[in-house]
Structure 1
Amino acid sequence: MLLTDDIIESSCRHNMDFDLKKTLEALLLSTAEPILLKDVVKVFARYHQELSEAQEAIKGEEDEDDIAIEIPSLVTQAQIREALEQLTEEAQAQNRAYRVVEGPNGYQMVTAPQFAEFVRLLRGAPRPMKLSPAALETLSIVAYRQPVTRAEMEAIRGVSVDSALHKLIELELVIVTGRAELPGRPIQYGTTDKFLEFTGIKELDELPASDVLSNHQIDEWMRRSEEEPEEISDEDVGLSKEPKPDELALDEKFVEVDWQRENVESDAAPEPESNENTPL
């Protein structure tokens, strides 16, 4: 009966001072791993089930009238999400030593930014990774364009991406996602869950809107780059417009000269006679 007694005692405390936010805070403190919302719902469901089983276990006992378990109602997913959002806002507003963040793998309690350096030194961890401008540009292209091939990255950047791409793969921010349905079946690349953690977002839809890197505009830009260059007129470079023959004044006209014919006729013309025998 020890287990049943513990459940009964826990139930009494639950009904007297149950605080959903504090309960969620305790769950987040109990693990360093992210917790999915569905897993939190399962915790409350199992708790509710154990209370129900405890109530069934004491039925038929002599002291049944003296022991009454009031089973609390199940906590809904909407209530849990609302409480977690309140925890997140309170931690930020009250400038607590921790923050509650939602990542791609669930909710997690993390150290506030102003204390991160002290925690790093305590753990002996290396400094956070920093990316070069070239790596950041390449990562941005992959994030907005994915799945993207190496050739597309280089067409956008205008330079080789080998070094930056290898660095991003080494840091597990970018991975191979497949092959494109193009001649040669080039490899395609995309971002990882670690990229989401690195940027502090839970899904790619939260990336800031970018007109420059949108798929539609990149496709249009690449299409235009493959077209024949447009003819540049005199006006485009600041010169006065050259009039057409039908736009000249009545007393002016273009004279077309066939220079090849002129040269042939000039070569064929007889040379003038020598003046050596001409009397003085």
Structure 2
Amino acid sequence: MIPLAKLLEAALFSSAHPVGLPDLRTVARDGETSESQILSALDDLRRHYDEDGHGVELIEVAGGWQILTRPEYTETIERAQLAARPQRLSAAALETLAIIAYRQPIGRGDIEEVRGVGCGQMLKSLHERELIEVVGRGEGMGRPLLYGTTPGFLEQFALRHLGELPRADELAVALRDPTGEGADRAEKATRDEERISAKVRANAAPQATAVEGANHSEAHGAVSPYTAAGG
């Protein structure tokens, strides 16, 4: 490997989360290393892992790069308790997360209308796991809190960006008008919910475990979005 690739490898190995280009350029220290040089060095590092049959791989995820255990070894590592097994989300939490992912920014009222049940506890759980965050307020009565996904969501589901989610037009729930009326809406929402949750559930278990087993940081923000009226 070239010296720059080795330096980037050390930086990535020390981080439990994806590292973006700006931080990787900072690691280069001289301030003259271009993004193209960084990307070339990352590609060199990736090939090194792939061609030499290493137990780890370099992937691009959540707007950065990360060194991860190869998927075929993840279960063995977890079984040996060398890395924490990620807690699985409940079906209800997955459904709530899917609705937010496809329709963000979205308020609590609209989420509950799609699901047909309250979602305060689900929102709290997803927020504590740093999968969603408050991204603003709506224009309706009471200016309800609006929710969106976080970089942690991308990391959890091994996505580089939201554009890698299944096409929104494949999921009618992403396009359905929450203000419509009619008995068919409840049945349709149930079908949509099943389809959208299936898409997310297929990726519910992360395909790789971070080399460093550091814990996530404390859930951010002082806003309490779970009891706010209309939030």
TM-score of the pair, normalised by structure 1: 0.54
Q: Is the 8 A contact 1:196 1:203 kept in 2?
A: yes
Residue 113 of structure 1, aligned match among 66, 71, 78? 71
For 1:35, the aligned partner's letter is: V
Identify the residue that residue 61 of structure 2 maps to in structure 1.
103
Identify the residue that residue 25 of structure 1 maps to in structure 2.
9
Distance 1:228 1:165, change over 3 A: closer
Deviations 1:111-146 (A, max 9, x none): 222333454466665421111222111101001111
Identify the residue that residue 90 of structure 2 maps to in structure 1.
132
Whichever structure has more helix as a proportion of its residues is 1
Which runs of 5 or more residues in structure 1 are unaligned? 1-16, 50-73, 230-280
- CA separation in 2, counterparts of 1:22 and 1:125? 24
Distance 1:113 1:41, change over 3 A: same
- CA separation in 2, counterparts of 1:91 and 1:122? 23
For 2:106, the aligned partner's letter is: V
Equivalences for residues 162-201 of structure 1 within 5 A: 162-201=120-159
- CA separation in 1, counterparts of 2:15 and 2:113? 45
Q: Is the 8 A contact 1:144 1:214 kept in 2?
A: no
Deviations 1:47-98 (A, max 9, x none): xx8xxxxxxxxxxxxxxxxxxxxxxxx5432132133134335534654211
Identify the residue that residue 40 of structure 1 maps to in structure 2.
24
Identity of aligned residues (%): 39
Distance 1:44 1:165, change over 3 A: closer
Q: Is the 8 A contact 2:102 2:174 kept in 1?
A: no
| SS of residue paired to 1:99 | strand
Distance 1:37 1:135, change over 3 A: same
Which runs of 5 or more residues in structure 2 are unaligned? 185-231
For 2:22, the aligned partner's letter is: K
Q: Is the 8 A contact 1:34 1:108 kept in 2?
A: yes
- CA separation in 2, counterparts of 1:211 and 1:153? 18
Q: Is the 8 A contact 2:8 2:42 kept in 1?
A: yes
Residue 146 of structure 1, aligned match among 76, 79, 104? 104
For 1:114, the aligned partner's letter is: E
- CA separation in 2, counterparts of 1:228 and 1:24? 57
Q: Is the 8 A contact 2:4 2:28 kept in 1?
A: no
Identify the residue that residue 181 of structure 2 maps to in structure 1.
226
Q: Is the 8 A contact 1:34 1:107 kept in 2?
A: yes
Distance 1:94 1:30, change over 3 A: same
For 1:187, the aligned partner's letter is: L
For 1:24, the aligned partner's letter is: L
| SS of residue paired to 1:152 | helix
Distance 1:33 1:146, change over 3 A: closer
| SS of residue paired to 1:226 | coil
Q: Is the 8 A contact 1:148 1:189 kept in 2?
A: yes
What is the root-mean-square deviation of aligned Cα atoms in Å? 3.3
Q: Is the 8 A contact 1:141 1:213 kept in 2?
A: no
For 2:85, the aligned partner's letter is: R
| SS of residue paired to 2:169 | coil
Pick the structure with greater CA Rg: 1
Distance 1:172 1:38, change over 3 A: closer
* Higher relative contact order (CA closer than 8 Å, sequence separation 6+): 2
For 1:169, the aligned partner's letter is: H
For 1:102, the aligned partner's letter is: E
For 1:191, the aligned partner's letter is: T
Distance 1:162 1:113, change over 3 A: same
Q: Is the 8 A contact 1:212 1:218 kept in 2?
A: no
- CA separation in 1, counterparts of 2:22 and 2:67? 17
TM-score of the pair, normalised by structure 2: 0.64
| SS of residue paired to 1:177 | strand
For 1:146, the aligned partner's letter is: Q
